[in-house]
Amino acid sequence: MMNLHWLLRAKRLAQNPPSMGRVYLVLGIIAVCIGLVVIERTADWPLSGVRLT
């Protein structure tokens, strides 16, 4: 069962939705994070077995 706090938060979000700029910002941050994960998985970056000391 949802907590009352989360229900009130969802109500506030439904009444005052975020601007398109905020939505694009969040989607951009998510895209950058996914891109970093893809680069790390495919290119073995950062070099996991190399010590720089």
pLDDT exceeds 70 at position 49: no
Q: What is the CA radius of gyration of the chain?
A: 19
| Predicted TM-score of the model (pTM) | 0.64
Give the tens place of pLDDT for each residue, 2-47.
689 999 999 999 999 999 999 999 999 999 999 988 888 888 666 5
50's tokens: 């190399």
Distances (CA, A) of 29 to 6, 10, 35, 36, 44: 24, 22, 10, 11, 22
The identity of residue 24, as a single letter, is: Y
The pLDDT value given to residue 50: 59
